[in-house]
A and B are shown apart, each in its own frame.
Chain A
């Protein structure tokens, strides 16, 4: 068996949040004990609502947000400390793509200059060959070479996201963390970018962590999917089975909330209530106040993430095995 490219063990990230101007400081566990592995060339989808800690997790995997507890291993080696020369060198191998490309790009630099920056920073390509490599990267993401001298504001949203991806690929990374990379794009353009990411990933065998709230996009791009709720993974399985036969009631509700053309909303499972505030975590299973099936044990004890079938894990007291999904 091959070794995982990136492995996280029991990651915890706590933010201190002050309640009101003079209120007391309360610790908020944004990421609360996460274990995960991503194999080389594999795509792991991470889904969950806002506040579930999925973006924080993405940043922690890259070492941008250092964990308070737990550890990350990249290619078998422990993640170096943030800001050290070792970490900087490693950053060439792991890149991040955000949701808003306009914020990620420098408005005063041309496209070509921005794509060339990682080549210069990591001293990857000598100056005289940079233009060739930039043209190569731009073609790879579907930009025309004559767009090299354009500025970000002259491009459409989809094109800007292509620039960000070209720049991320410049250092030939082994891992790409994409945080809602297509959420701001129209469906037609979204499909273009998703296809392109899949092609690039296959061609260069890049591992990818794809963070999104859009289940349909995640199902299409990810091999495996982890569902997060309030800083924890509540279910993990291959993307073929997790959306077809969700086991955890929360995954079920998420799948049920996706509007399917032509299917009426009535009769589907619509969750009541809001995602809880991480600063005020419910006792027991964090999902129990919104769970239609919660019993006494759910209110008192936290269910552990445990294997329920081959390659499937779930954290729910009511899920015993994959053969007996929770009736909802």
Chain B
């Protein structure tokens, strides 16, 4: 059976040594779609995809379902996972130089991936590797094929990583903070490259980042994660024009602006709770300026709103077109509580 979506996560949960860190993630990734995952460190953005691809250490307990074209990955035989990982779903990480093998020539590392995923060898593999290096914008690829990773700059190492990821002709590229370690001008180049590659190859992209600006440029849709759950999900326009979850709004407000008057920054007070002692009710309630009594006693579910987004909040912020009355009520409750 071939499902409509490329990847479907259902109730994906992860626990480390009995401590639950991911509390059931549901997410559909359509073919060719670009989805951003945002949130502070420790919210489970990376763990979601490491778990889906079976890359977590042995002490992690993963449950739930991850289906790629209807095929289940969790609890399936190793061979199924290996046919998907690196081939149908490729992943790149924040620190490219530590993801590359320092003692192998760059060309060899790419041809290795080609041999594993596409059975290419010899001149065919070399030609294909050169094509990939060209595609990701490594100048003078023929000469640099025989160089070691330390002879490349950080931005170029990330390009090499992307070339390796493309070796399996993946349907989905998971990019985990791919530009965080890079300089601003190089970051812009890599973002540009990711957008171009997606347009050329039609592969779907998961873009994990704490940089909302970068996410808005690469993706159509984004999930905001907090303490191991998705708290808001919607199109970039919906989230950016009118964030409804106080956490989403807080993330936007905290970004210093490059234009307009210089004002005091608006931080989110407090820090992300430790997974071991999550607060009762909504996990964000202790840091939330909108929290009311019910937020501290029962956790809001992730429910669809009329405008198509998903939201897990009892007292959303922002504007609802036909729902100003409820907003007023919320404000009353805020002042009361």
**Footprint of B on A, CB under 8 Å?**
49-50, 156-159, 186-192, 194-195, 198, 213-217, 219-220, 239-240, 243-244, 253-265, 268, 270-272, 274-275
Contact of A195 among B40, B155, B267 (CB under 8 A): B267
Residue numbers in A under 8 Å from B266 (CB-CB): 191
If A216-B257, A259-B213 touch, does A268 touch B183 (CB 8 Å cutoff)? no
B213 and A187 form a contact (CB under 8 A): no
In angstroms, Cα B147 to Cα A259, docked, is 32
B240 and A189 form a contact (CB under 8 A): no
Residue numbers in A under 8 Å from B192 (CB-CB): 265, 270
B258 and A274 form a contact (CB under 8 A): no
Spot the interface stretch: B1-9, B247-255, B289-297.
B247-255
User: Quick one: CB contact mask for B176-214 with A, threshold 8 Å, 1 for yes?
Assistant: 000000011111110110010000000000000011111
B256 and A259 form a contact (CB under 8 A): no
Interface centre among B155, B214, B252, B258 (most CB of A within 10 A): B258
In angstroms, Cα B127 to Cα A281, docked, is 34
B185 and A219 form a contact (CB under 8 A): no
A194 and B256 form a contact (CB under 8 A): yes
B262 and A274 form a contact (CB under 8 A): no
- B268 is an interface residue with CB less than 8 A from chain A: yes
A191 and B189 form a contact (CB under 8 A): no
Number of A-B contacts (CB under 8 A): 125
Residue numbers in A under 8 Å from B236 (CB-CB): 262
If A186-B41, A220-B256, A274-B156 touch, does A259 touch B211 (CB 8 Å cutoff)? yes
Extra contacts besides A191-B267, A253-B185 (5): CB < 8 Å: A158-B271, A186-B41, A220-B256, A262-B236, A270-B188
Contact of B268 among A188, A214, A240, A259 (CB under 8 A): A188
- B323 is an interface residue with CB less than 8 A from chain A: no
Residue numbers in A under 8 Å from B189 (CB-CB): 270-272
Residue numbers in A under 8 Å from B251 (CB-CB): 187-188
A261 and B186 form a contact (CB under 8 A): no
- B269 is an interface residue with CB less than 8 A from chain A: yes
In angstroms, Cα B166 to Cα A208, docked, is 45
In angstroms, Cα B239 to Cα A195, docked, is 26
Residue of B nearest to A183 (CB): B180
- B264 is an interface residue with CB less than 8 A from chain A: yes
In angstroms, Cα B256 to Cα A198, docked, is 14
Contact of A260 among B153, B156, B258, B262 (CB under 8 A): B258
B271 and A274 form a contact (CB under 8 A): no
Query: In the assembled complex, how far is the CB of residue B97 from the closest CB belonging to chain A, in whole angstroms?
Result: 13
A217 and B256 form a contact (CB under 8 A): yes
A195 and B183 form a contact (CB under 8 A): no
17 cross-chain CB contacts under 8 A: A158-B271, A186-B210, A187-B210, A187-B254, A188-B254, A188-B268, A191-B265, A192-B269, A195-B264, A215-B184, A219-B262, A257-B188, A258-B184, A258-B213, A259-B211, A264-B217, A270-B189
If A259-B216, A261-B240, A265-B217 touch, does A190 touch B254 (CB 8 Å cutoff)? yes
Contact of A156 among B217, B257, B269, B271 (CB under 8 A): B271
If A265-B217, A268-B188 touch, does A215 touch B258 (CB 8 Å cutoff)? yes
In angstroms, Cα B256 to Cα A243, docked, is 13
Identify the 4 closest CB pairs spanning chains A and B, nearest first.
A259-B213, A191-B267, A188-B268, A191-B265
User: Quick one: CB contact mask for B266-293 with A, threshold 8 Å, 1 for yes?
Assistant: 1111011000000000000000000000
Query: In the assembled complex, how far is the CB of residue B259 from the closest CB belonging to chain A, in whole angstroms?
Result: 7
B153 and A274 form a contact (CB under 8 A): yes
Residue numbers in A under 8 Å from B272 (CB-CB): 156
Residue of A nearest to B239 (CB): A261
Contact of A49 among B183, B211, B265 (CB under 8 A): B183
A219 and B256 form a contact (CB under 8 A): yes
Contact of A188 among B213, B257, B259, B267 (CB under 8 A): B267
Interface centre among A157, A217, A243, A262 (most CB of B within 10 A): A262
B262 and A192 form a contact (CB under 8 A): no
B262 and A261 form a contact (CB under 8 A): no
Residue of B nearest to A220 (CB): B256
In angstroms, Cα B153 to Cα A189, docked, is 30
A189 and B271 form a contact (CB under 8 A): yes
If A220-B256, A239-B262, A270-B192 touch, does A254 touch B185 (CB 8 Å cutoff)? yes
Contact of A271 among B185, B214, B217 (CB under 8 A): B185
Query: In the assembled complex, how far is the CB of residue B170 from the closest CB belonging to chain A, in whole angstroms?
Result: 22
Residue of B nearest to A257 (CB): B188
B41 and A265 form a contact (CB under 8 A): no
Query: In the assembled complex, how far is the CB of residue B268 from the closest CB belonging to chain A, in whole angstroms?
Result: 4
Residue of A nearest to B261 (CB): A240
Contact of A219 among B156, B184, B240, B258 (CB under 8 A): B258
A213 and B184 form a contact (CB under 8 A): yes
In angstroms, Cα B212 to Cα A250, docked, is 24
A49 and B185 form a contact (CB under 8 A): yes
Residue numbers in B under 8 Å from A274 (CB-CB): 153, 155-156, 186
In angstroms, Cα B184 to Cα A270, docked, is 10
B258 and A259 form a contact (CB under 8 A): no
Residue numbers in B under 8 Å from A217 (CB-CB): 256
In angstroms, Cα B183 to Cα A254, docked, is 10
In angstroms, Cα B268 to Cα A255, docked, is 26
Residue numbers in B under 8 Å from A258 (CB-CB): 184, 213, 258
Query: In the assembled complex, how far is the CB of residue A46 from the closest CB belonging to chain B, in whole angstroms?
Result: 14
Residue numbers in B under 8 Å from A240 (CB-CB): 262
B252 and A191 form a contact (CB under 8 A): no
In angstroms, Cα B251 to Cα A240, docked, is 24
Interface centre among A50, A156, A192, A259 (most CB of B within 10 A): A259
